[in-house]
Amino acid sequence: MVEEDKIKIEIENLSFFYGEHRIFHDVSTKMMANKITAVVGPSGQGKSTFLMIMNRLWENIPQARLEGHVHILLKNRMTDIYARDVSLPDLRRSVGMVFQKSNPLPMSIYKNMAFPLKLAGIKNQAQIEEKVEAALRDAFLWNEVKDRLSHDARSLSGGQQQRLCIARALIIGPELMLLDEPTSSLDARAAAIIEELILLLKKRCTVFLVSHHMEQIARLADTVMALEDGKIKPV
């Protein structure tokens, strides 16, 4: 049973810099579990960077640095994700991310789906096949691809590729999903399917969404925050 008032993310005194340029200044906020939280704001304000802070994906960017604390509830324990003893592979399995531009790997649909499982050390073929089918069903994609799992994933349509990327992120059971403009490059029909999928996601994990479509945010988000001039504020 979901605890409606459980805090999933707690950010304290967060500042972030690219070289001498400060993107965020002393940001503190909380996000609730099993909700869809959206962040909005003008272009160039660091919305995508704010997402990447949640899984430390920014750390290879030259001259980028972070101050402050980010705690995420993982495996029922509030975890300082920047602590030295935190495993990055474990963190990124718990905090999945889907980007604005779909990024299927240059391999078959099936191998795209099985890849995260093999990275996690799962070797049982029957278990892999079961998880692949379940994740593709969850992403409303199984019926469209079940007869062509051996085909190159890049042969799928744009909307199908994005659902494949969501399914690939879901297959290892993340607790938090980061979605960076997940429908911006899709037509209205494909975007509507993704929106339906996003609404279902919060039954199984917490969703943190960046979108510039205010109508979409109104349909999806439980909580909206604005990022502007280095500060976060509720909308």
Question: Using an 8 Å Cβ cutoff, are 180 and 100 in contact?
Answer: yes
Q: Provide the domain limits for residue 24.
A: 7-234
- The pLDDT value given to residue 197: 94
For the segment 186-204, the average pLDDT, to the nearest whole number, is: 93
Can you tell me the distance from the alpha carbon of 83 to that of 66, in angstroms, rounded to the nearest whole number?
13
Does residue 1 sit within a domain?
Answer: no
Tens digits of residue pLDDT in 81-104: 999 999 999 999 999 999 989 999
Q: What is the mean pLDDT of the chain?
A: 93
What's the CATH code of the domain at 228? 3.40.50.300
For the chain, how many residues are written? 235
Q: Write the pLDDT tens digit of every residue in 71-87.
A: 999 999 999 999 999 99
2 occurs within a structural domain: no
- Does the pTM surpass 0.75? The reply is yes
How many whole angstroms from its chain centre is CA 188? 21
Q: What is the mean pLDDT of residues 53-75?
A: 96
Task: Tell me how many domains the chain contains.
Answer: 1
Q: Is the per-residue pLDDT at 1 higher than 50?
A: no
**pLDDT per position as a tens digit, 105-114:** 999 999 999 9
Is the alpha carbon torsion for 145, 151, 157, 162 positive or negative? positive
